[in-house]
Chain A
């Protein structure tokens, strides 16, 4: 059974007075401990899908089932409680945290909100989370803006796994990092997936990264699914025009590697 099943999801916006579908009848599913990648050119609707799946915005039509239950039927306290199982990592962790917060507070919030540990125990939990993502526990007292971009993204991952989710949505989570740091973060994500059996909805415009981490890929074009399938197979032999264009934009070296 899949962790996440999205059926005919549609979101319309208005552009210049006329309605247009940013996400148009999109269906896909993500299995347990699987990585499904969403790829596509800028404006193809990737972030909109992420926000819909996280209930940050509401769809105009379609269905979202999460862990076998209708996710769109939840509201209020029930929805907030369910959010423990479905987390997100943003592209820019500096923007995604309260700029005044410390690392400790950023990690304390989910533990407190979901009642995961009593107050006295939370400092240990926070230290354990920091260690889990490969950070020094001394970082807890630092302000968010006092640590490096790579460290910050590790903190974002620690916050996402704090509530033991079954699915994490990563919207361009490694795009802003430089290449060496990017590799380390991807390693960490794969390691977490193996150990905690977390599924990822991995959004990226970089097919090289997708090829390295994803099991399957969905390629979007103007809100619609252009093609989907096994990540390596699709990247090796794209069928759609957008798929071909995205592959053509990849550096040759990565494309031809076995």
Chain B
């Protein structure tokens, strides 16, 4: 409770938390409010918003319910963003820990691989990955994770380099603990805080990358995505601009919310650390 109050001590954090909560409610209630296929035809095509209260935001070019699409799109964005960020953080933490803890050749090899991934623009990497393997939710998650793990890997490695000199690692070696157990049980948990501080940026970037992939038609075709909605709306941009603007604003607010809430968390932990 105290932690929550400290987290909510800035207006930015409150705004971020509010947006995220709204998004979460949308994602969780989508199948409740809009059961059935959001991609099914619900009414006449290109019905403007606020005309028919059974279709509050109107319909798109094919007569699909825009509000239903928005809710189901929140589900996809959030799921892909969180899953990809979690995967990226996990891969990064493991690679960084192994490199930093093993040192020598292992470190060299892993860091050259990290360099290689980092020199390729991350969006191109995700794009190439999806176009080769084919668009499905799992592949999109993997592609985004693959393009985002290098940052966490570097941060984890730097942290591990300082932790491995501590007496507790020497103590673990003295009792004969296996190096892998030392790396993952003694070192990694202590190296996590600065790595986790990256998560808001990574989640935000993952949501944007997913939207961009969908915009280019490389999202999972069986899912509604905000990126896909923007792309759809492009064809009727002059006559029905709201079809692109609504998902665009939703996307922007989401990224903003994730970022603000992330900053709030980082700040509140910083306060906690300086207090203790």
Interface residues of A (CB under 8 A from B): 51, 54, 56, 80-81, 83-84, 87-88, 90, 92, 95-100, 109-110, 113-114, 159, 163
B159-175 CB mask vs A (1 if < 8 Å, else 0) is 00000001110111111
CB-based contact A90/B178 at 8 Å: no
- Chain B residue nearest to A169 in the complex (CB): B174
CB-based contact B174/A87 at 8 Å: yes
CB-based contact A98/B186 at 8 Å: yes
Q: How many residues of B contact A (CB 8 A)?
A: 16
Question: B177 contacts which chain A residues (CB < 8 A)?
Answer: 80, 109, 113
Question: B168 contacts which chain A residues (CB < 8 A)?
Answer: 95-99
19 extra A-B contacts, CB within 8 A, seeds A54-B173, A98-B185, A99-B168: A54-B174, A80-B178, A81-B176, A83-B174, A90-B167, A90-B170, A90-B171, A95-B167, A96-B167, A96-B171, A97-B171, A98-B190, A100-B189, A109-B172, A110-B175, A113-B176, A113-B178, A159-B175, A163-B175
Closest 8 interchain pairs by CB?
Answer: A83-B176, A80-B176, A96-B171, A95-B167, A96-B167, A110-B175, A88-B174, A90-B167
Question: B170 contacts which chain A residues (CB < 8 A)?
Answer: 51, 54, 56, 88, 90, 96
Question: B175 contacts which chain A residues (CB < 8 A)?
Answer: 83, 87, 109-110, 113, 159, 163
Question: A90 contacts which chain B residues (CB < 8 A)?
Answer: 167, 170-171
Q: How far is the CB of B163 from chain A (nearest CB, A)?
A: 10
Interface residues of B (CB under 8 A from A): 166-168, 170-178, 185-186, 189-190
CB-based contact A56/B174 at 8 Å: yes
Question: A54 contacts which chain B residues (CB < 8 A)?
Answer: 170, 173-174
CB-based contact A110/B176 at 8 Å: yes
Q: How far is the CB of A40 from chain B (nearest CB, A)?
A: 21
- Chain A residue nearest to B182 in the complex (CB): A98
Bound-state Cα–Cα, A95 to B185, Å: 16
Bound-state Cα–Cα, A54 to B169, Å: 13
Q: How far is the CB of B159 from chain A (nearest CB, A)?
A: 14
- Chain A residue nearest to B175 in the complex (CB): A110
Bound-state Cα–Cα, A92 to B171, Å: 11
Bound-state Cα–Cα, A100 to B172, Å: 14
Question: B176 contacts which chain A residues (CB < 8 A)?
Answer: 80-81, 83-84, 110, 113-114, 163
Question: B189 contacts which chain A residues (CB < 8 A)?
Answer: 100
Q: How far is the CB of A152 from chain B (nearest CB, A)?
A: 12
CB-based contact B166/A95 at 8 Å: yes
Question: A99 contacts which chain B residues (CB < 8 A)?
Answer: 168, 190
Question: A109 contacts which chain B residues (CB < 8 A)?
Answer: 172, 175, 177
Could you give 6 example pairs across A and B, Cβ below 8 Å? A51-B170, A54-B174, A56-B173, A80-B177, A90-B171, A114-B176
Question: B166 contacts which chain A residues (CB < 8 A)?
Answer: 95
Bound-state Cα–Cα, A97 to B167, Å: 7
Bound-state Cα–Cα, A95 to B175, Å: 15
Q: How far is the CB of A126 from chain B (nearest CB, A)?
A: 14
Question: A159 contacts which chain B residues (CB < 8 A)?
Answer: 175
Q: How far is the CB of A161 from chain B (nearest CB, A)?
A: 12
Bound-state Cα–Cα, A171 to B185, Å: 25
Q: How far is the CB of B184 from chain A (nearest CB, A)?
A: 12
Q: How far is the CB of A93 from chain B (nearest CB, A)?
A: 9
Question: A113 contacts which chain B residues (CB < 8 A)?
Answer: 175-178
Question: A97 contacts which chain B residues (CB < 8 A)?
Answer: 168, 171
Q: How far is the CB of A177 from chain B (nearest CB, A)?
A: 16
- Chain A residue nearest to B166 in the complex (CB): A95
Bound-state Cα–Cα, A97 to B177, Å: 13
Question: B172 contacts which chain A residues (CB < 8 A)?
Answer: 98, 109
Question: B174 contacts which chain A residues (CB < 8 A)?
Answer: 54, 56, 83, 87-88
Q: How far is the CB of B145 from chain A (nearest CB, A)?
A: 27
Q: How far is the CB of A149 from chain B (nearest CB, A)?
A: 15
